[in-house]
Each structure stands twice: as structure tokens, then as C-alpha cells.
A and B are shown apart, each in its own frame.
Chain A
Amino acid sequence: MSEGFWNRFLVPPAVWLLVLFAFPICLVLALSFGYVDDLGRAVYATDLDNYADAFDPTYLPVMVRSVLYAVATAVLCLLIGYPIAYFIARFGGRYRYALIAALVLPFFVNYLVRTYAWVALLSDEGLVNNALIDVGITNDPIQIINTPWAVIGGLTYGYLVFMILPIYASLERMDPAVIEAGKDLYGNRLQTFLHVTLPQTRQGILAGSVLVFLPAVGDFVAAQLLGGPDTYMVGNLIQDQFFAGNNWPFGAALTVVMMLFLSIFMFGYLRSAARESRAAL
């Protein structure tokens, strides 16, 4: 098959992606060096002011907070999700695919609607509070919503599937004989798990963590719907610059900073994945 023939397949999608994806990202980068003029219009320039502002003590905590929430979300997803993945992979048997499908199904409910469900459940007059009052644990509604934990909970719920699927995939690929051998070696469930299963699924855990962590950092929906004034995340900050604060260049700079930060993680993971697959050969 001649080269030119197959190359032609690449051209239209590559051009599309270049024009509507790569170039716009460059525009964001270019705009981040700009400023806002008197009429409130964004102007391209070559200042670094926006970056100075981004690392200003006023705004840096917002980014730190976003990272912390994202880390908490990833950890929760891991703790909640790993046992589920483990169960389906090892004990799912014939129902494996049905279980996975059932898992993925809620994910295809719109993210907003899923988060909204939590708003309805957790609000002061929501079902959770009603249940707590009925059972007698408390007399007045507890404020669950508009707190950092409500946001983290919402994020966890939203991204849990992204953690479970890669872990499941890596567990699937494991040879059950290895686990048997491990049990013979260590004699103990826990030891076998820690020393055999867990290390083998490291790649899956990493993949899942990245797939949860990355979008969680930039999320603004959960914080907006479930959060309070002290849960302001970088996603909210960026969104505000574009829709309320009218400072597109600053918003662009924040976006670039966030992207750079995330790409460190992303490339770190990809290099590790590449190394793993090379090692496996």
C-alpha cells in the first residue's frame, strides 16, 4: 500500500484539529499576554502582568484549593472504586459485562443532572436531612450543601467511573494463576493483595487517578452548585473572567497556568505508561 494513499486519510482530520483545536489553544496562550482596554475589550500584547497576578497570594490559594479537592476526589474514587473493580474482575464471572454496563449507565446521565440530584438530596430540606431528622439524629437540618465536602462528594460521584474502568481493565489482564501462586506464597489474602495484585494493577490505578484528577481540577460545576463562598475553584475563577469579570486575558493566563500544571502530570503518566508497555514486551 503506497504511502500517499494512507496519508490522505490523515489530512482532513488533522487539518480540522489544527484549525479548531491546536490553533485556538495557541490563541489562548497569546491572549494570556494581553490586557483589557478602556472599552473593556481584550487586546493582545506581550505583558506578563496576568501571570504575575495568577501567582498573586490572592489567587494562588484558589489553585491550591482546586488541586487539593482534586486529590481528595482521586483518593476517594480510588478507595471506593478499587473494591468494585476488584469484585467485578475476580468474581463477576458471567455477569461481568452486565455489571460493567450497569456501572457505566449512570455515567450517561447528564453530569449536571447527576450533580443536581445531589443538590436536591443534600439541601437543607432535602431527603438526607429529612431522613436525619426523622431518625432523630438531629432536630435542625445540618448544612451539608455549600461545604467543601459536598463539592468533593459531587466530584467523586461525577468521576468515579473513570477510576473504576482502568483498574478493572488492568485487573482483567492479570493472570489468575499469578494470584494463586501468590496465595501459595504468602498464604494470606491481605498479603497476596498487597504484594501481588496491587502492584500489577499499578498502571490501572495511575490511569484512573489521572483520568479523575485532571478534569476535577478544572471543574466548576460542582463548586457552583454544591459549594459555598469558600470553595471557589480555579474553574470558577476562570469562568468568572470570561462571563462576569470581563477579563479574558487574565482568564487565559489562568487557563495556561492550569494547563501547564496538569500537563506535567499528564506527561509523567504517559511516559510511565510507555515505559510499562515497553517493559512488557
Chain B
Amino acid sequence: MSLVDESFSRRRLLQAGAGTALAAYGLGGLAGCTVSRSVDRSAEGKIIVPEIDGDLLIYNWAQYMDPAIKKGFAEHYGVEVNEVNYDNLEAMVIKLRSGAQYDLIFPSSEYVFRLRNEGLLAQFDRSLLRNSDNVAPFYDSPWYDPDSEFSMPYAYYTTGIAWRDDEVTGMTGSWNDLSNPDGAGRMFILDDFQEAIGEANLINGFDLNTTDPDEIETSKETLLDQKENARGFSTNSVQNLVNGTAVLHQAWNGDIVNVRNQVDNPENYRYETCTEGVPVGTDAMSIPINARSPGTALLFMDWILTPDNAFKNVNWNGYPQPCEGGKQAFAKLAKDEPSINVDLDELANGEEYRLDDPEARQLWTETFTEVKAG
């Protein structure tokens, strides 16, 4: 009747335990071996040329690209364009390293640098792109990709705070605004370890990219305090603001444009950069080394950089794109809302996220896990 009857005598349990322990011990012989990752690096050393070689699989932030652009490409070239989203860059890297195959990814500058060093990016010849001349000269030789053969810029951005002025008053232009009581229970901090710890660092007057364990500890306390006011951690700022879950959100500048395009009362949605410091950065487009359709991906890069498409895309997602078409669209957006403005000089001199030391990076990710768990 009962399914378990005599199977669970003490002897059996001991046997099972011993068996497992023995197996684990034997596996201790594994010591020193890594969990194998299976990234296909056969494209190493090859230069990608822009041509259709299959359907396109994009791996990107959510709500970061105008669907019309993807559709236009699909129709023009007769291929399928699919998009998968990630929550944060670290997750994206993990997926890449474990062998997942995407054709086009959108790493930030620091991540291009890291992935390049790991040999995870495919090389291409940018002179083969028709629109590479349209791109701002700043990107001919950025610090993270000196020969500009592993990435093309997609957008650049600032990080600040977005809020609804019909719900929240008393904003002071400081990162401490995240603790504004009007936003209590409806505030979000970005679910990105660098953005979160970064803003805490700025509040405490530390270097944005500090690696000093004591300073990190202090910033952790700051974050834990802010967490009292927060509803959650999320990089889905657009959605959270649009559906009213959030009235206060650590966010990126373009998001506010995207939000305004979707709500009935756009004038209530505001954005500010903060006096303690404004993180800036570039999001680039790169092709992973194990992409199935690298040629198509390169063609798609070209497509995005076409002035018409750049214009449409910027109007959709609100971020400045450093190329013809994008520049003009953003100039107009920034005129209507100066707070989202960022220009390339700021980019050159501004504070970018950069953690080169893997141990420091681990300290940061562990600290962030502690913040989320605490």
C-alpha cells in the first residue's frame, strides 16, 4: 500500500550516504578541473564580412530597440530577426561563456574590453560597413576597442533618477533623492551591481569605481538603508514606470523618452542627473565569436547605423546614437528635455564604470548579493 515500506531502513540510508560520499570523494579527484565551458572558437582570427549567412538572434536589453527596425531588416533581407533579453550584463556574460550562441550582443564599453580580452568577440573590418563614416570620430579609437574592430557604438547614456512629479515632490538633484519618502515602497534601484554600488559610492563621495573594501562596506550600508524605501531591484525601468509600479526609479536617460511615448500623461515623467556624480557610458554592438550568423549580424549593425534607422530608433528609445540621423533626432529630444542631454565631451571626460581587477569585481558582485539578501 505505502510506496515506501522497507526501502528506508536505516541500513539503506547509510548505504546511500556512503555511496554518495564515496562518489563525491572520487570526484574530489576533479579538484583543479574547471566546469567545462563549450564556446566554439573556430571563428578565431577570421575577419567577418557583411553578408547574409542565416537568421539573426539578437541578445539585448529589453525595450532598447525599435521593433520597426528589426522588422525592416527582416523584410529587406528576407531573414528572421529574433530577440532575447537579459536583465543585466553579468548575466549576459555568463550565458556567453557557457556556450550560448547569439549573433549580436550589446555590451557596455567595459564589457567590450573584457570580452575582447577573453577572445569572445569576433573581429570585423569596419571599412566594409557603408555607414561607418557616419559614426562620430570619437569612436574611431575608443579606449575599450582601440582599432574599432570588435565593436560599433550603439548608444551612450547617463544614469540618473526618473520620477513622477505628480506623485513625488521635493527632488533635490541628489542621489539621496532615492530615499525620498514620497516614493516609499514604489522606488526601484537598478538591478545591476555596478549601478547600485556606484550610486552609493557617489553619495558617500568615493570614487565611482573604488575598490577599497572599507568604502565598499560603507556603500553597502547606504544601499541597505535605501532598500528600506525600495520596492525592488529592476532594470526594467520603462515598464515599471509605465504601469505605475514605480514612481521613483534609478534609470538611464533614454528611458524617460521611451516612457513618455507610452503613457497618457508624459509631462509628469521627469528625469534628473545628480550633483554627486553622473555615470556615463557607451553601449556598443558586438558579435560573439561563436555566432551562428556573424555576417548577418554585421549587416544588421550597418542597418542600425543608417541615418534613417538611427533617427527612428532614437525617437523610440530616447538614447543618443553617435551617428548621423541619431545625432539630429537626439538634439531635438534634448531640446525638449535638457536633463537627458549628454554629449561626447562628457563621455570623454566623464565617469565610466570600469573594474579591471577580477578580485575587485568579485567583491562588488558579492557585496551586491549581500545587499539583495540582507
Asked whether the complex places CB atoms of A and B closer than 8 A, the reply is yes
Name A residues whose Cβ lies closer than 8 Å to a Cβ of B. 22-23, 25-27, 29-31, 33, 36-46, 58-59, 61-62, 123-125, 143, 146, 227-230, 232, 237, 240-248, 267, 270-271, 273-274, 276-278, 280
- Are A277 and B243 touching (Cβ within 8 A)? no
- Are A274 and B6 touching (Cβ within 8 A)? yes
Q: From residue A234, how far is it (CB to closest CB) to chain B in Å?
A: 9
User: Which of B90, B245, B374 has a CB less than 8 Å from the CB of A246?
Assistant: B90
- Chain B residues with CB under 8 A of A61: 373-374
Query: Which of B22-30, B202-210, B342-350 forms part of the interface with chain A?
Result: B22-30
- Chain A residues with CB under 8 A of B359: 38
- Are A58 and B33 touching (Cβ within 8 A)? no
- Are A243 and B91 touching (Cβ within 8 A)? yes
- Are A39 and B87 touching (Cβ within 8 A)? no
- Are A244 and B91 touching (Cβ within 8 A)? yes
| Residue on A nearest B20 in the bound complex, by CB | A26
User: Which of A123, A267, A277 has a CB less than 8 Å from the CB of B1?
Assistant: A277
- Chain B residues with CB under 8 A of A42: 34-35
| Residue on A nearest B359 in the bound complex, by CB | A38
Give me the 7 closest cross-chain CB pairs, A-B, nearest first. A277-B2, A30-B27, A44-B30, A42-B35, A26-B23, A38-B358, A41-B34
- Chain B residues with CB under 8 A of A245: 90, 365-366, 368-369
Instruction: Say whether B97 faces chain A, with CB atoms less than 8 Å apart.
Output: yes
User: Which of B28, B37, B244, B362 has a CB less than 8 Å from the CB of A30?
Assistant: B28
- Chain A residues with CB under 8 A of B186: 143
| Residue on A nearest B2 in the bound complex, by CB | A277
In whole angstroms, how far apart are the Cα atoms of A230 and B358 in the complex?
Answer: 29
- Are A267 and B8 touching (Cβ within 8 A)? yes
Chain B 225-263 interface mask (CB, 8 Å, partner A; 1/0): 001001111000000000111000000000000000000
In whole angstroms, how far apart are the Cα atoms of A85 and B245 in the complex?
Answer: 38
- The secondary structure that dominates the B interface is helix
User: Which of A22, A41, A227, A229 has a CB less than 8 Å from the CB of B35?
Assistant: A41
- Chain B residues with CB under 8 A of A230: 227
- Are A44 and B32 touching (Cβ within 8 A)? yes
- Chain A residues with CB under 8 A of B267: none
- Are A274 and B2 touching (Cβ within 8 A)? yes
In whole angstroms, how far apart are the Cα atoms of A46 and B242 in the complex?
Answer: 49
Instruction: Say whether B54 faces chain A, with CB atoms less than 8 Å apart.
Output: no
- Are B232 and A229 touching (Cβ within 8 A)? yes
Q: From residue B255, how far is it (CB to closest CB) to chain A in Å?
A: 20
Q: From residue A142, how far is it (CB to closest CB) to chain B in Å?
A: 11
Which residues 90-123 of B have a CB within 8 angstroms of A? 90-91, 93-95, 97, 118
Q: From residue B263, how far is it (CB to closest CB) to chain A in Å?
A: 13
Q: From residue A58, how far is it (CB to closest CB) to chain B in Å?
A: 5
In whole angstroms, how far apart are the Cα atoms of A22 and B95 in the complex?
Answer: 25
Q: From residue A266, how far is it (CB to closest CB) to chain B in Å?
A: 10
Given A59-B373, A229-B233, A273-B2, does the pair A244, B90 have CB atoms closer than 8 Å? yes
Additional 13 contacts, C-beta under 8 A, given A38-B359, A143-B185 = A26-B20, A44-B33, A44-B35, A58-B374, A59-B373, A146-B245, A228-B230, A229-B232, A241-B369, A243-B95, A267-B13, A274-B5, A277-B1
Chain B 119-157 interface mask (CB, 8 Å, partner A; 1/0): 000000000000000000000000000000000000000
| Residue on A nearest B118 in the bound complex, by CB | A39
Instruction: Say whether B372 faces chain A, with CB atoms less than 8 Å apart.
Output: yes
Given A26-B20, A36-B362, does the pair A45, B31 have CB atoms closer than 8 Å? yes
- What are 28 inter-chain pairs, A to B, with CB distance below 8 A? A30-B30, A31-B35, A33-B28, A38-B358, A40-B97, A41-B37, A41-B97, A43-B33, A43-B35, A44-B32, A45-B32, A123-B245, A124-B244, A227-B232, A228-B231, A229-B227, A229-B232, A237-B369, A244-B90, A246-B93, A246-B365, A247-B366, A273-B2, A274-B5, A276-B2, A277-B2, A277-B5, A280-B1
In whole angstroms, how far apart are the Cα atoms of A195 and B271 in the complex?
Answer: 65
- Are A270 and B4 touching (Cβ within 8 A)? yes
- Are B27 and A146 touching (Cβ within 8 A)? no
Instruction: Say whether B370 faces chain A, with CB atoms less than 8 Å apart.
Output: yes
- Chain A residues with CB under 8 A of B35: 31, 41-44, 248
User: Which of A29, A62, A274 has a CB less than 8 Å from the CB of B24?
Assistant: A29
| Residue on A nearest B226 in the bound complex, by CB | A229
- Chain B residues with CB under 8 A of A22: 23
Instruction: Say whether B88 faces chain A, with CB atoms less than 8 Å apart.
Output: yes
Given A40-B358, A123-B245, does the pair A246, B20 have CB atoms closer than 8 Å? no
Q: From residue A247, how far is it (CB to closest CB) to chain B in Å?
A: 7
Given A237-B369, A244-B94, A270-B8, does the pair A123, B243 have CB atoms closer than 8 Å? yes
- Chain A residues with CB under 8 A of B93: 40, 246
User: Which of A36, A124, A280 has a CB less than 8 Å from the CB of B245?
Assistant: A124
Given A41-B35, A228-B231, A247-B365, does the pair A125, B20 have CB atoms closer than 8 Å? no
| Residue on B nearest A281 in the bound complex, by CB | B1
Chain B 29-53 interface mask (CB, 8 Å, partner A; 1/0): 0111111010000000000000000
